[in-house]
Amino acid sequence: MDMTKPESLKPPPRVTTRSLAKMRRDGQSISMLTAYDYPTAEILDRAGIDILLVGDSLAMVVQGHDTTLPVTMDQLIYHAEMVGRAAKRAMVVVDLPFPEGQLEIMRTVACGARVLKETKCHAVKLEGGAEQAGRIETMVTAGIPVMAHVGLRPQNVHVEGGYRVKREIKTLVNDAVAAENAGAFAVLVECVSTEVGQAINDAVNVPTIGIGAGGATTGQVLVTNDLIGLTSGYSPKFVRKMADVSTTIYEAAIQYRDAIADNTFPGDAESF
């Protein structure tokens, strides 16, 4: 124990696979949000969000693509470095992008190892359930914690022919159980009926983190840009927008433009 620092200067204890398991056992809810850059991650960490996800949603909400498919491992590592540096308490999970989690198994392990070696992040997220059991087991054996992602799998968008709410209860529960048995420390459940969310939560002992999966999961995750209103266009039903950052930025830009136009910026206060 470090006795040299006053209590207030000590970093808060890190959220870990072990503390998340305890949260589930103790009936505590887990909060998770996406983060792609240092300042946002610093704010979310300070706000006490338990898990930060450097999600492949970065392709859509930061890079402006239509799907999550184009983002690369190198790009995720670049963003993971920033988020990893900012998070003092939260666990940081990094998505394995398409198709790194589908190719030859040792390539997936190498990508997971890059996350732990090149960034200060702590775990990876891998889309898939039962068919990914071997891959999850190999990763965990190699020392790479894995959060499985079942239900709607955005990397499968073209196979599925779009995004839809998943209701195949037996298959989805089987996916979550297979992921847990393979060693996943948590299961993210996306866009399933409330009944399926409940059934998955009842079937596994590890924490379940829902997005559009009803209220029965151990925790909830949202894309931060959706939460804070920093996206334009379609917003899924499961999003609750809790701020309007787009409007704030827009209004600040208008004020700035007008202040330049009418020569009130810079004023004496901003000049040397």
Residues in touch with ligand KIV (CB under 6 A): 34, 53, 55-57, 95, 190, 211, 221, 223
Min dist CB 75 to ligand KIV, Å, is: 13
Q: Confirm whether residue 244 is marked as ligand binding.
A: no
Residue closer to ligand KIV (CB basis): 33 or 86: 33
The length of the chain is: 272
Min dist CB 151 to ligand KIV, Å, is: 9
Min dist CB 224 to ligand KIV, Å, is: 9
Residue nearest to ligand KIV (CB): 55
Residue closer to ligand KIV (CB basis): 92 or 223: 223
Using the CB atoms, write b or e for 45-76: b if 16+ within 10 Å.
beeebbbbbbbbbbbbbbeeeebbbbbebebb
Residue closer to ligand KIV (CB basis): 56 or 100: 56
Tokens at 203, concatenated: 């079937």
Min dist CB 80 to ligand KIV, Å, is: 12
180 is catalytic: no
Residue closer to ligand KIV (CB basis): 71 or 86: 71
Residue closer to ligand KIV (CB basis): 180 or 190: 190
CB-based contacts of 172: which residues, under 8 Å, 6+ apart? 129, 150, 151, 166, 189, 192, 196, 199, 200
Q: Confirm whether residue 125 is marked as ligand binding.
A: yes
Min dist CB 157 to ligand KIV, Å, is: 13
20-26: which pairs have CB atoms within 8 A and are 24 or more residues apart?
A: 20/50, 20/51, 20/91, 20/185, 20/186, 20/207, 21/185, 21/206, 21/207, 23/50, 23/207, 23/218, 24/205, 24/206, 24/207, 24/218
The candidate with the shortest Cα–Cα distance to 20, out of 208, 244, 221, 215, is: 208
What is the separation, in whole angstroms, between the first and last Cα of the chain? 49
State the Cα–Cα distance between residues 11 and 30, nearest whole angstrom: 20
Q: Which residue among 190, 195, 251, 270 is the active-site one?
A: 190
Distance of CA 223 to the CA centre of its chain: 7
State the Cα–Cα distance between residues 134 and 129, nearest whole angstrom: 10
Q: What's the burial of 238, exposed, middle or buried (CB within 10 Å: 0-12/13-18/19+)?
A: middle
Q: Confirm whether residue 66 is marked as ligand binding.
A: no
Question: Annotated binding site for 3-methyl-2-oxobutanoate, which residues?
Answer: 56-57, 95, 125
Annotated binding residues for Mg(2+), written as ranges, equal 56, 95, 127
Active centre residues (catalytic): 190
**Binding site: which residues?**
56-57, 95, 125, 127
